[in-house]
Amino acid sequence: MAQATTSAARRSSGWLDGVRRAARAAGDRAVSPTLPVLGFFLLALVVYLPGQSALPVTDRDEARFAQASRQMLESGDFVDVRFQEAARHNKPALAYWAQAAAAAVAGGPDAGIAAFRAPSWLAAAGAVALTAWAGIALVGRKAALLGAAGLGACLLLAAEARLAKTDALLLFCCVAALGALARVQAGEAARRWRVALWLAVGLGLLVKGPIVLIPLAGALAGAALAARSWAPVRAARPAQGLAVALAVAAPWLIAITIASGGGFWAESVGRDLLAKAVAGQESHGAPPGYHTLFALATFWPWAVLLPVAAPLVWRRRREPAVALLLGWAAATFLVFELTPTKLPHYVLPAFPALALLLAAAAVEGLPDPGARWRKAMTAFWVLPPSALVLAAALGPWMVTGAPSPGALVLGLAAGAAGLVAAAALLRWRLTRFAAAAAVSAVSAAAAVLQFALPALTVAFPAPAMAAATEAWRCGDPRPPVLTAYREPSAVFHLGTDVILADGAGAAAAVAEGRAGLAWIGAREREAFLAVHPDAVPRHAIDAFNYSNGRRVALTLYDARGENACAD
């Protein structure tokens, strides 16, 4: 027994000594991380700025989050999350609080969508900066900066930075936990960083529940396997840490349990978390391998280099930092590959670890895979930028009959940079490839999100519906009633009290005096006009509902009479 104890102690000491030696070899203590971390944060804010205001509210998740956050400000209830009258208990409250706070600063409930997106914008930029901070302790300064740049340019994070949802905030919490964990394992003021680690986990629990624990558990498991010791796990003090994390989340959890009569747990755990784990939900089911396959697009432009970097990473899998990062990424992919419900953003917490591993391998030197593999890699690499460039340059012209000049210019710039990157990849000039690929990715995202998608007004009819409603309201305080296009974005634009109904329900709402204006779809028109034959058509919109793939024709009817708006 004494010999076993001594052996375990030696392995524990060896583990920590190995991490410290790696940190010293990287020169981390000689360089303050403050300047590069701040620089990446500011640069990412600029990169993610296009699209924040221009991109219309997207259905359905973003619109639901933004509307529920607005209702917090309208009602003053910051515990029980609601979308109109329906409880929204599938996620904890921190993302809603952050959005409500940003909107309050920007003018209150009537703030535009950019205010509700601000937390995602700031969190995405913060995640890029924290990747540099975490990487300095794990893979050294050069690889850390390269990894942060890689994460900042990847397509999935570029999208999540412009959406008022939970995923950018969750990523921020995850990367904060990763950086703190790295310093705990290195023995740098371990008590302070342990507190930081579990505070980050607690905030992650308030953003998206236990998802934050998946990469953390994987990192600790990977580190323990590499060390052949429980020392990495003991260093993190998981029992104490989980108590800290739960203490962060407990006040709201207790409050929502009381307010909902336990309904929050039935919805968030039973109908959301566990249901997604056993069956595909909301038409998002997919077999294992989905996330790995789609990484070509979601982790673009760097995913194509991962197969070349993999052998280098695997050979170094027993090094403390590599084992920790491998476990972090592998656990995230494994859990979500095995979960029947799949959406691309589920594996976003793995991307900082992938970026740092790839960057460390690139600094060491990625071997030339040979001409045949380079050609195949280049052919696969050009697929995402080609799709983005075509969407930016041709999408508005094909749908509306007129090109978007901004989308065309930036799309062509992205295409030109993409050609330079493809040529560099084909010749295995990786420095040139990295620079051109980053320019292509940033330009393509800006072209699509700032210009191309906003130009497709046919796919985003809610702003036009709100403008027409306001023009014909003429001082009438009653809400409009809406049929056919009962999407969350319409609620966000038309107001919390908008009435959603079918044709008969719309006719009843008008007859009972609850509404004077009614947006009626083509299929509901007969039922509505049978009750209100004298209703006056004021405005018509032809749109495309991309959420269900159907075209929709809407007419704004005024049941108040022809002279309702006469002076």
Q: State the total domains in the chain.
A: 3
Q: Which residues contact 146 (CB under 8 A, 6 or more apart)?
A: 359, 362, 363, 434
238 and 383 both lie in a single domain: no
Q: Which residue has the tokens 């917490």?
A: 349
Mean pLDDT of the chain: 90
204 and 181 in a common domain: yes
Section 131-150 average pLDDT:
95
Quick one: pLDDT at residue 561?
A: 80
In a domain, 159, yes or no: yes
Domain boundary among 396, 426, 457: 457
- Which pTM value belongs to this model? 0.92
Domain assignment of residue 124, yes or no: yes
pLDDT at 28 over 80: no
According to the 3-state scheme, what is the secondary structure of 264-289?
Answer: HHHHHHHHHHHHHHHCCCCCCECCCC
CB contact set of 567 (below 8 Å; sequence gap of 6+): none
The parent domain of residue 167 ranges over 2-275
Confidence of residue 15 (pLDDT cuts 50, 70, 90): very low
DSSP letters of 26-82?
A: HTGGGS-SHHHHHHHHHHHHHHT-TTTTTSPPPTTHHHHHHHHHHHHHHH--SSS-E
**210: nearest Cα among 68, 86, 91:** 91
Whether the predicted pLDDT of 18 surpasses 70: no
The predicted model gives 35-48 an average pLDDT of 94
Q: Are residues 425 and 471 in the same domain?
A: no
Pick from 350, 353, 344: nearest CA to 290: 344
Residue with tokens 């003991």: 234
Are 223 and 74 in a shared domain? yes
d(CA 34, CA 50): 26
Same domain, 433 and 505: no
Q: Does residue 471 share a domain with residue 451?
A: no
Which of 226, 245, 275 lies at the terminal end of a domain, its last residue?
275
pLDDT at res. 302: 95
Considering the domain architecture, whether residues 138 and 260 belong to the same structural domain is answered as yes
DSSP per-residue letters across 152-170:
HH-HHHHHHTTSSSSHHHH
Please check whether residue 302 lies inside any domain of the structure.
no
Q: Pull the structure tokens for residue 368.
A: 């030339």
Residue 82 placed within a domain? yes
pLDDT in tens, 445-470: 999 999 999 999 999 999 999 999 99
* Average pLDDT of the residues in 361-375: 95
Same domain, 400 and 465: no
Q: Do both 252 and 133 map to the same domain?
A: yes
Q: What are the angstrom distances between the C-alpha of 478 and each of 175, 516, 539?
A: 47, 7, 18
pLDDT above 70 for 66: yes
Over residues 332-345, the pLDDT tens digits come to: 999 999 988 889 99
Question: Which of 258, 275, 292 is the last residue before a domain boundary?
Answer: 275
Shared domain for 446 and 488, answered yes or no, is: no
CB 49 within 8 A of CB 449: no
In the predicted model, what is the mean pLDDT of residues 69-83?
96
| Residue 349 in domain | no
Neighbours of 24 (CB within 10 A): 12
Give, to the nearest 10 degrees, the angle between helix 213-227 and helix 167-185: 30
Q: How far is the C-alpha of 392 from the C-alpha of 411, rounded, in Å?
A: 6
In a domain, 355, yes or no: no
Cα–Cα distance, 278 to 47 (Å, whole number): 38
Same domain for 446 and 474, yes or no, is: no
Tell me how far apart the alpha carbons of residues 207 and 93 are, in angstroms, rounded to a whole number. 7
Write the pLDDT tens digit of every residue in 517-544. Answer: 999 999 999 999 999 999 999 999 999 9
DSSP calls for 448-490:
IIIIIHHH-GGG--HHHHHHHHHHHHTT--SPPEE-S---HHH
Is the domain of 437 the same as that of 467? Answer: no
Give residue 241's identity as a one-letter amino acid code: G
Give CA–CA dist 40/554, Å, rounded. Answer: 46
Residue 329 lies in a domain: no
pLDDT band at 394 (very low <50, low <70, confident <90, very high): confident
pLDDT at residue 491 greater than cutoff 90: yes
552 domain residue, yes or no: yes
Q: How far apart are CA 132 and CA 115, in angstroms?
A: 27
